[in-house]
Amino acid sequence: MSYSDEFVVCEQCGKKFVFSIEEQRRQAELGFDIVAPDTCPDCRQLEASVSPGLKAGIVKWYRDDKGFGFIVQQDGSEVFFHRTGVTMDDMGLVLKEEAPVWYELIMTDRGPQAVNIHLREV
């Protein structure tokens, strides 16, 4: 599979942005289909902070002693999560590196955070 930078027009604001080779590789590595996002990074960030609903991600790591970790989001960025954001039933399974998960994003005063995290079937 070969990749090349792709120019996409944002559906929200009409701005042109690059869907880069790095982002495409990242999606492929994470096992996602390679799909150009509909919206530019700015609009996506805005959308993420306001839109509820489940998003697909991968657990990057989790530190049991600290009680928190990070999830890699579909756009390749990382989001913080706390143990309390994980659905109890899935606790043991979700908190493994590279576990595929669903999550919701909320805005906290310390930035975006993943909550309602549970295992995603792949």
Give the interface with Zn ion as residue ranges (CB under 5 A).
10, 12-13, 15, 40, 43
Cβ-proximal residues to 12 (8 Å cutoff; 6+ apart), any chain: 38, 39, 40, 43, 47
Q: How far is the CB of 55 from Zn ion (least distance, A)?
A: 18
CB of 11 to Zn ion, least distance (A): 8
Nearer to Zn ion, 10 or 119 (CB): 10
Residue placing its CB nearer to Zn ion in the complex, 13 or 35: 13
Shortest distance, position 18 Cβ to Zn ion, whole Å: 13
Rounded least distance, CB 16 to Zn ion, Å: 10
Three-state SS annotation for the chain = CCCCCEEEECCCCCCEEEECHHHHHHHHHCCCCCCCCCCCHHHHHHHHHHCCCCEEEEEEEEECCCCEEEEEECCCCEEEEEHHHECHHHHHHHCCCCCEEEEEEEEECCEEEEEEEEECCC
